[in-house]
A and B are shown apart, each in its own frame.
Chain A
């Protein structure tokens, strides 16, 4: 085949407007099957691994727990429980460093040496016979959150505001972040669980059809899914252009079904439910067994790591243990949890793997040399960021306002809150202006100012 033809096919695939195309760098781990990672001697289980209220511990220091047992309960609707990823003894509750920075309380679980990976907790149940309401409750009990990175409790997404009806479920298998291959490997290896999860989702939301969207750089994933699809044709697989941030909720909705999710609204307002592949796979794997999320696939990758791969890592495994096990080059200095575009730089090796952490990226200074700008140059309004912004915001203007500290204006007049910090604008800026960082400062400052205004009575 001439090289033109596949390129043409790529060009004809659905996508959204704007966006960027960073180097994919998926070759490190794309062909590495998921393998289990050993337990560390101590697991660090953060009580707030999800968006919302932290879980409340159910165990006391000194108590023995078995793998899969609930160790913390949900605190209200915007919260999820936590399950023990390994059999062992709860040592203490301590403040530990997190990827985001501030220290948060965590349960420290000492793992019994030589423990098997068998899950002793749980009992089979018939998912087919469950009502949508029971499914929503079961999803919360499983501790499921958006495993794509945002860690938003899944059961909340399953309960759309009254009046919204969902007709289509979109499953996001794009994995547009460079380096990461967890969703890719899951689609290739766990297609059956993924389809089962999709069916549960369709039932819970009363949606007659589901579309699994994947980028066209993963043809093997699409092929594996095609084989597992049910005969009734309610679930389909659709390939979209490889482009960042294809996997974002709003972008995917545009690319797959051509619907635009209005600003500040949930996808359910246009009849959609958007879920990540890893979340749905876990749903299909856990719900029939009444189990909870205790481990997740993490792509440990980057030029700085000696043995990159896709590993099934127990939640709470400290990054230090992963680094020591897999070996890293001496100059490995930049550690990122999540992908390089939206992930968090970690400043401590004691940070544990959490439910939302799908990747662990180790970079050397020389890998970043190419992207480093000697200094930040002034913005000349070249408009590259405007062309890159997938939400059609004006990052150039926002950046100028942020530089002057006019944060409220950014929010009121220029849709700052629509920005989901995908990093496309910073990525393309030839002047090296850290736009997203400015926006995050602005959001944080506005949030704090509002909270303080509320606290002080007029």
Chain B
């Protein structure tokens, strides 16, 4: 019985304490309430939850806040479909903004069957490690090493290494999240709107003959594309054709026709087209290692 005699005061104390704390919390809820736009929550629901950062904001939540505040237009989310972004725009009563499909593109075509190797790389099988160990053994110092850092970095399963050790971007899956651009130690990837159909798939700054000795599909800087294209669209800078995309509306497939190596290509609907003069590559097997 002694045990229960102490019960009463304890229960009363706990009830009073609970009540006091509850009152404090209720007060704090009123005093410290932060008004948050309920639309943020709803916009976030409409976003893809990829948290990829392609929009430039740290995750979908931050992007939702920015769109509600009017700092960003819904089209900045490249992962959403245009329809979904239109829904967000309608919901917020803002314009969606220009949305053009942007994809990651590789500026190299030098697979194992066309690009020479001058040494064999042994070590951690990542491109970044290979680049630091004497450049990785590829004769061309600018070319893709094919160890797949981009493949591993892609969260959307949009990059796959093909039989020649080159990454192939599945444009349907690519959301332009920028991860492969950051992952590639040679900066071969860049984000391009699909309307950039004319594309120089090479980064070699080597002088013509040497570039050709290193890789059969290298840009030799012969300037035929620059001559054939409308004035000012293509320039040869340091032995490499460079396209001025501010004049992209002038681009036609004519520029690629006389390219002797097929380094400049026309990409339309995921089909890569080389010019008629481009050397035909029939070899499928890798080239042997030839020390230089």
In the complex, the answer to whether B123 meets A100 with C-beta atoms within 8 Å is no
**Least Cβ–Cβ distance between A185 and chain B, in angstroms:** 27
Say if the beta carbon of B206 comes within 8 Å of chain A.
Answer: yes
How far, in angstroms, from A94 to B129 measured CA to CA in the complex?
26
In the complex, the answer to whether A348 meets B185 with C-beta atoms within 8 Å is no
A348 contact from B119, B131, B133, B182, Cβ within 8 A: B119
Q: Which residues of B contact A100 (CB under 8 A)?
A: 132, 134-135
In the complex, the answer to whether A344 meets B206 with C-beta atoms within 8 Å is no
Say if the beta carbon of B92 comes within 8 Å of chain A.
Answer: no
Say if the beta carbon of A345 comes within 8 Å of chain B.
Answer: yes
Question: Please, what's the 1-or-0 string for B152-181, where 1 marks a CB less than 8 Å from any CB in chain A?
Answer: 000000000000000000000000000000
Stretch at the interface among A110-118, A247-255, A262-270, A445-453: A445-453
Which residue of chain B is the closest to A444 with respect to CB atoms? B128
Interface positions of B from 101 to 139, Cβ below 8 Å from A: 118-119, 121, 123-124, 126, 128-129, 131-137
Interface size class of A (residues with CB under 8 A): 20 to 34
How far, in angstroms, from A344 to B185 measured CA to CA in the complex?
18
B123 contact from A94, A102, A437, A449, Cβ within 8 A: A437
Say if the beta carbon of A395 comes within 8 Å of chain B.
Answer: no
**Least Cβ–Cβ distance between B52 and chain A, in angstroms:** 15
**Least Cβ–Cβ distance between A407 and chain B, in angstroms:** 11
Interface size class of B (residues with CB under 8 A): 20 to 34
In the complex, the answer to whether B291 meets A349 with C-beta atoms within 8 Å is yes
Q: Which residues of B contact A350 (CB under 8 A)?
A: 292
How far, in angstroms, from A395 to B292 measured CA to CA in the complex?
36
Say if the beta carbon of A122 comes within 8 Å of chain B.
Answer: no
Say if the beta carbon of B56 comes within 8 Å of chain A.
Answer: yes
Given contacts A437-B123, A452-B182, contact A101 B205 (CB under 8 A): no
Say if the beta carbon of B194 comes within 8 Å of chain A.
Answer: no
A103 contact from B132, B134, B137, B205, Cβ within 8 A: B205
A345 contact from B133, B141, B182, B185, Cβ within 8 A: B133
How far, in angstroms, from A293 to B17 measured CA to CA in the complex?
82
In the complex, the answer to whether A441 meets B128 with C-beta atoms within 8 Å is yes
In the complex, the answer to whether A99 meets B292 with C-beta atoms within 8 Å is no
Given contacts A348-B292, A349-B291, A452-B182, contact A99 B134 (CB under 8 A): yes
List 18 additional contacts besides A99-B134, A100-B134, A347-B134; criterion CB under 8 Å: A95-B205, A101-B131, A101-B133, A102-B141, A103-B206, A344-B133, A344-B134, A346-B134, A348-B119, A349-B292, A434-B123, A438-B129, A440-B129, A441-B124, A441-B128, A444-B185, A448-B182, A452-B182
